[in-house]
Structure 1
Amino acid sequence: MGGFVGSDPCAWLTWYADKKHWTAPAERRREHVDETKAVSRSRIDWLCRRRDVPLREKTLWRMLYETSAQAAEVLSVNIEKLDLANRQAPVVVKGGDTRWITWGTDTARLLPRLIAGRTSGPLFLSEYRPGPHRRATLDPDDICLETGRARPGYNRARILLGQYSDGLELHQLRHSSATHLGEANTSANVIMAKTGHKSLRSVQRYVQPGLAAVHTATETLSSPRRRG
């Protein structure tokens, strides 16, 4: 056996490890869990109020957070489908089903400025009109007849958020929304209805208490202040 003498299996493994022919069996590598997906409400508020951020991005990010919806769902919204009075709109989800997304006061304040009098077509529009070749490949529903501009894609939205936020991902807005709802003691059934998840197990991934909730809980362990 290549000059190895002896029948002790432990010695055999040691010899092969020393010779670097192979490494001895080791414990299975533990998967690292990312526990930083949810971000604070204050960070989201700060990001959406920055003066150097365009109105389109502010509205998209605020809407993603307040609706708890997926980015593809929000980007697919058309103006004529908006129910501005009731702060809701229908979106088509995977499988072709339709569900309603709802937003809050901050999004409601931004939407009229973003729409700017348009009555139909994509809610969110690209910065420039697509060229002839690009336009030929687009679905007619993705082009605004009033402006000639097109619905922006997911990748463009992802890149812009990363640039302005130093690496924040679109899904983190949805994750943060669900986490903050959970911290506010919103029932799991309501969170499921808002996020569009079909199972409680799926929702539980998103409603883990965030760091702010952990800090609040930690304060209960501190000694009561002495009365003056």
Structure 2
Amino acid sequence: MVGSSAAGDDDLSWQLLPIRDDLAAALQDWRAWLRDERRLSVHTCRAYEGDIADFMGFMAGHHGGQLALTHLAAIDLGSFRSWLAARASDGATAATRARNLSALRSLFNWLDKTDRAFNPSIGQLQAPKRKQPLPRAVSRLDAKDILDRAEELAPEPWIAKRDRALLTLLYGAGLRIGEAVALNRSAMPSKPENAAIVVDGKGNKQRQVPLLPVVVEALARYRTLCPFPDTPDAPLFYGAKGKRLNADAARKVMRQVRQSLSLSDSVTPHALRHSFATHLLGADVDLRVIQDLLGHASLTSTQRYLDADIERLRAVYAKAHPRAKG
């Protein structure tokens, strides 16, 4: 939109920006402060300058003339958000927009500290949320090895069946670890045919999840050996001391298993849930069905699995296609 230059180019003035002399001088001083006081890298300085140049050009377009320091103090929250929205429309990622906001905060905080301009709206801006990367799905063979090794590593027979049942439930039904350990005995179906459980998910939203025969069988074997009460209000998964198994203890089991199998640190209980969704998607199960099974409030959350699968297919295609090999 407007030009900028690398930090350290002393002959750079902000001549290409539609700004008045007082603001140009302030920006020059801010640049020097970034370089000499903050000692930011040349790359970061250049990025910040480009961000501010774009912002000034955007605001000048809305203002309809040259900007002065007094104009910066009067910019409202909506205008800041409009610029960030425009950056998103131009294709800026959440990470880039987070840096855009860092540049704005740096400039406006410096203007405030040097008594040049104060804008209260800048403190109300929130950084865009970055998408958390999905864990890598485990292969079907690795999933089987995980279940077998969990049983082998357990210190007692009933704990061996518990650990296998728990991990089978995560992989075979796509539960979150917190959802699984919160289950009571009453959640278990009375008949193995067409078995399903009712899960209390995020936001206290309930969903019904069908259970595969292998899951029902693993749970039944565990319940047969479990030495603690089997009343309806009792926890489904007990810890070694007879209290409800907590999520951290379950994560510890998974950590021991993956270390024993020399698997990646990304192999966590949540990775089993992710693998459940990924393998269903690979079997051409409808995305909305997967959404219901996972308990996602929005299809957008489930869409991430499709995006990840497309990336996987693209990588496989690029590796296998003869043209990709030059």
Question: Does the TM-score normalized on the shorter chain lie above 0.5?
Answer: yes
1:199 positional shift: 1.5
Higher relative contact order (Cα pairs below 8 Å, separated by 6+ residues)? 1
Does 1:152 pair with 2:252?
no
Counterparts in 2 of 1:52-91, with a 5 A limit? Answer: 52-53=153-154, 54-83=160-189, 84-85=191-192, 86-91=194-199
Q: Distance in 1 between matches of 2:132 and 2:199?
A: 31
Does 1:108 pair with 2:125?
no
Q: Distance in 2 between matches of 1:21 and 1:218?
A: 44
Mapped contact 1:59–1:111 kept (Cα < 8 A): yes
Mapped contact 1:79–1:115 kept (Cα < 8 A): no
Question: In the TM superposition, what whole-angstrom CA distance separates every residue of 1:155-206 from its partner, at most 9, and x where no partner exists?
Answer: 1111221121133222111111111111111111111111111211110123
1:21 positional shift: 5.7
> In proportion to residue count, which structure has more helix?
2
Q: Distance in 2 between matches of 1:96 and 1:7?
A: 59
Q: Distance in 2 between matches of 1:55 and 1:46?
A: 15
Residue-pair matches, total: 197
Say which is worse superposed, 71-80 or 203-212, in terms of deviation: 203-212
Question: In the TM superposition, what whole-angstrom CA distance separates every residue of 1:97-129 from its partner, at most 9, and x where no partner exists?
Answer: 32112221321221111111735321110111x
1:47 positional shift: 0.7
Find the counterpart in structure 1 of residue 237 from structure 2.
124
Q: Distance in 2 between matches of 1:156 and 1:105?
A: 26
TM-score by length of structure 1 reads 0.71
Q: Cα RMSD between the aligned structures?
A: 3.4
TM-score by length of structure 2 reads 0.52
Say which is worse superposed, 25-34 or 86-95, in terms of deviation: 25-34
Counterparts in 2 of 1:29-40, with a 5 A limit? Answer: 34=133, 36-40=135-139
Secondary structure of residue in 1 paired with 2:209: strand
Q: Distance in 2 between matches of 1:34 and 1:94?
A: 19
1:153 positional shift: 0.9
Does 1:209 pair with 2:309?
yes
Which stretches in structure 1 are left out of the alignment for 5+ residues? 1-5, 129-148, 224-228
Does 1:9 pair with 2:34?
no
Which stretches in structure 2 are left out of the alignment for 5+ residues? 1-8, 14-27, 49-94, 97-129, 155-159, 260-264
1:151 positional shift: 0.9
1:214 positional shift: 5.9
Q: Distance in 2 between matches of 1:68 and 1:32?
A: 20
Distance of aligned partners of 1:199 and 1:34 in 2 relative to their CA distance in 1, 3 Å threshold: closer
Distance of aligned partners of 1:96 and 1:210 in 2 relative to their CA distance in 1, 3 Å threshold: same
Counterparts in 2 of 1:190-205, with a 5 A limit? Answer: 190-205=289-304
Mapped contact 2:177–2:270 kept (Cα < 8 A): yes
1:221 positional shift: 3.1
Which amino acid counterpart does residue 11 of structure 2 have in structure 1? D
Mapped contact 2:171–2:276 kept (Cα < 8 A): yes
Q: Distance in 1 between matches of 2:272 and 2:220?
A: 22
Distance of aligned partners of 1:108 and 1:219 in 2 relative to their CA distance in 1, 3 Å threshold: farther
Q: Distance in 1 between matches of 2:251 and 2:310?
A: 23
Q: Distance in 2 between matches of 1:71 and 1:175?
A: 12
Q: Distance in 1 between matches of 2:206 and 2:199?
A: 6
1:26 positional shift: 3.7
Distance of aligned partners of 1:218 and 1:186 in 2 relative to their CA distance in 1, 3 Å threshold: farther
Q: Distance in 1 between matches of 2:289 and 2:131?
A: 30
Secondary structure of residue in 2 paired with 1:116: helix
